[in-house]
Amino acid sequence: MTNPLLANWTTPFGLAPFDDIADGDFEPAFDAALAQHMAEIDTIASAAEAPSFANTIEAMEGAGQAMDKVLSVFFAVAGADSNDKRQELQRTFSPKLADHSSRIHQNRALFDRVRALWNARDSLGLSDQEARVLKLTHRGFLRAGAALEGDAALRMTEVKSRLAVLGTQFTQNLLADEAGWSMALEDGDLEGLPDFLVAAARSAGKDMGQDGPVITLSRSLVVPFLQFSPRRDLRKTAWHAWTARGANGGETDNRMIAKEILALREERAKLLGYDTFAAFKLETEMAGSPDKVRDLLMQVWEPARASAMADARDMQEMLQADGVDGPLKGWDWRYYSEKRRKALHDLDEAELKPYLQLDKMIEASFACATRLFGLAFTPLELPLYHADCRVWEVTRDGQHVALFIGDYFARPSKRSGAWCSAMQMQAKRPVRKTPIVINVCNFAKPEAGAPALLSYDDARTLFHEFGHALHQILSDVDFGSIAGTSVARDFVELPSQLYEHWLEVPEVLEEFATHAETGAAMPRAMLNKVLAAATFDMGFQTVEFVASAVVDLDFHDGPAPADPMARQAEVLAGLGMPEAIPMRHGTPHFAHVFAGDGYSSGYYSYMWSEVMDADAFEAFTETGSAFDPDTARRLERFILSAGGSEEAEDLYKKFRGRMPGVGALLKGRGLAA
C-alpha cells in the first residue's frame, strides 16, 4: 500500500489527506523523500551540460517536492498537536535534516555550478527575479560553509547537526514544563475572577480530566489570572511557575542547553570568518550590524523605562493602600495595572471581553482584507489535523487564491505562542502552486456551547497573525524561495504588525465588536475608552520586550557567556531593569532565540518592523481613510505580493518614498516626549 504522504494527492487544492495519515507513516516517508531529494540534487550537480539558470538554479527550486509535502504535514502537527511519537520523530528528524542540508551545501560540484553562474551573472540575460534568486542561492551556499574545506567543513557539519538537536530539545523541554504544571482552584479561590476566566479554567480542568477549574501555563489563562485574582499568594505561585519554565532542574532544564547553543553559534560564525554570531546573522538583515540594532533599542529604552517607573510608583501606592508592606513585585504588576486602567479609563476587561467574540474577530479580519484587497473567504468542510481547526477558501474575482487554516484554541499538545506557517508556498516556476497557510493561536477554549471570548491583546494577536497570512496569501512571485514571508527577519513583521492597526479603526469595532449575549454593538463610550487606552501600560510592555531584545543581542555580540543566566542578570542590571518587570522571555524559555536560529540576534526585529508599520499606517491615515484603495494597491504591490524579490529597504521605499525614523514608533506607543 502506498504511503499517503508520498502518494499523488487528489484532495481539493492539494491539501494533505489528513484522515489517511498515521504517525507510523512519517518516518518511512521522510527517509524516502530525503533520499529522493538527494538523488535530484546529485543529478543537477553531475549534469554534463554547462550550468545554466534553468538546469541548475531553477532545477534546485523544483527539487524536493516530496520532502516539502512530508515536512509540511509533520511540522504542522508536531508544533500544534504533539504527542510522544511525534516528539520522538522530531528528535530523529532534526539532525538528519541538518546533515542533509550540509551535504547539499558541501557538494563541491553543485557549488561550482552555482559559483560559475554567479561569476557570469551579467551575461546571462536574467530577469530581475532570476537574478535575485541566483544572488540568494550563491549567498546561501557561502553562509552555509560551502567554501570551507577539510576539518573546517567537517566541523561545520557537526556544529549544525548538534544545534538542530539542541533546538528540538529546548522546544520539547519547554512544552513539557508548560504541560506539566497546573494549579487547581477551590471555590474560595475564584473570588474576584470574571466569569469568562472561571469558564476557561473549568474547561481547562475538564481537558485535564479534573473535576474543578485549573490554571495552566497557557498565556490565555495565566495572564488573566494574574490580572484579576485578588489572592496575592496564588498570583505569586502562578507567576513563579510562569517565569520558571525551562529552569526547574531535572531533564527539562534548558539552561545548559542555552549555554551550549550560544557557544556553538559563536564557533559557527568564526568558522565563516566573522567576529561574532551577531555580525554574521545581521549582515543580511535590514539593520546590517549590531551597532544599528543597539542604537534603535536604546532610543526606545529610556522613554519606556521612565514611563514604566512612573506607573510603578502609582501602583506601589495602591499596593500599600491594600495593606501590603514591601515593594511591588512581578506577580502584582498586572493585578494593579488592571485596577489602574479601570480607574483611569473606566475600562474593565471583564466588561469588554463579551464584545470580542473569536468568530466576530475572525470575521473582522476577513472583512478588512476584503475591503483592502478584494479577497473573499468561504468556509469549507475538509479533513484537518485536529477537530478544532477550520479552513476557508480564499478567492478574488471568483478565482482561487489560497487555502487558509485557523487553529485557535490552546491545548496541552500545542506549544505556546502564536505563529503563521505555510504548508505550501506560492510559486509559478518550475511548478505552479497556490498557498496553503495556517494561523495557530492559543486562546482559551470555552465550555461546550459557549462563545469563545478574547481579550483585546488576543484580538490584536489574531490580526497580527492574519497579517502574516496575507503576506503568504497575496504572494505573487515566480519562485517559492522568495515567496511570501521569505524576507529579511527584521522586515517579516511589518505586514503582521501593520495589520494590527485595522483592529483599532473605529468603524471596524463598531461593526464587529458585538455582545456575545445581546448582539448589541459595543457602546460608543466603551469604544472611545478602548481607543483612548490603546497605549495604556505601554511602558511595561516596551520594557519587557526591549530587555529581551538587548539580552538576545548581547548573548551573540561577543564571546559566548560561560553562564548565560549570570550574563542575563548583568545585562538587566546595566539597563536598570525595574524590579517588578521580568523579561518578556527569560533565557530558559526564550524559544524565539533558542528553539532555532530564526530570531537569534533578531528578536529586535519586531521593533525594527514597528518603526515601519507605524509609518506605513500613516500612509493610510494621511489620505483620510484606513481603506484608501490607492494606498492598499501600493501596499499589495510593493510589500505583500513582492515577497523577497527585492531588498526589503528598496521595497519599503517604493511603497512609502523613504525610510522612517523612530519618532513614529514612539508616538504610536505613547512614549514620545
Catalytic residues: 465
Answer whether the bond into residue 430 is a cis peptide, omega within 30°: yes
Give φ, ψ of 417 to 5 degrees: 95, -165
Q: What is the DSSP string of 31-80?
A: HHHHHHHHHHHHHHHT-SSPP-IIIIIIHHHHTTHHHHHHHHHHHHHHHH
> Do 199 and 230 meet the contact criterion of CB atoms below 8 Å apart?
no
Give the full edge-to-edge strand order of the sheet including 399-409: 375-380, 390-396, 399-409, 436-443, 419-424
Q: Do the Cβ atoms of 659 and 649 come closer than 8 Å?
A: yes
Asked if 510 and 521 touch (Cβ cutoff 8 Å), the reply is yes
Q: Residue 131: enclosing H or E segment and its boundaries? A: helix 128-143
Task: Identify any residues that bridge with 394 across adjacent strands, giving them in sequence order.
Answer: 377, 402
- Distance CA(367)–CA(363), nearest Å, equals 6
Q: Which residues, including other chains, have CB under 8 Å from residue 339's CB and lie 6 or more apart?
A: 318
Q: Are 439 and 343 in contact (CB under 8 A)?
A: no
- DSSP 8-state class, residue 230: -
Q: Are 228 and 192 in contact (CB under 8 A)?
A: yes
362 and 508 in contact (C-beta within 8 Å)?
A: no
Q: Alpha-carbon distance 414 to 664, whole Å?
A: 36
Q: Which residue has the cell 465550555?
A: 447
Please check whether residue 553 is in contact with residue 290, taking contact to mean a CB–CB distance below 8 angstroms: yes
- State how far the Cα of 249 lies from the Cα of 176, in Å rounded to an integer: 12
- Only one residue has cell 504517525, namely 23
Instruction: Give the per-residue SS3 of 140-189.
Output: HHHHCCCCCCHHHHHHHHHHHHHHHHHHHHHHHHHHHHHHHCEEECCHHH
| Number of residues that this document lists for the chain | 673
Cα 222-406-462 angle, rounded to 5 deg: 55
Q: HEC string of 279-330? A: HHHHCCCCCCCHHHHHHHHHHHHHHHHHHHHHHHHHHHHHHHHCCCCCCCCH
Are 402 and 436 contacting, i.e. CB atoms less than 8 angstroms apart?
yes
End-to-end CA distance of the chain: 69
Tell me the sheet residues that pair with 378. Answer: 393
For 673, counting Cβ atoms within 10 Å of its Cβ (0-12 exposed, 13-18 middle, 19+ buried), the class is exposed
In whole angstroms, what is the distance from residue 72 CA to residue 448 CA?
31
Distance CA 126, CA 130 (A): 6
Alpha-carbon distance 286 to 279, whole Å?
13
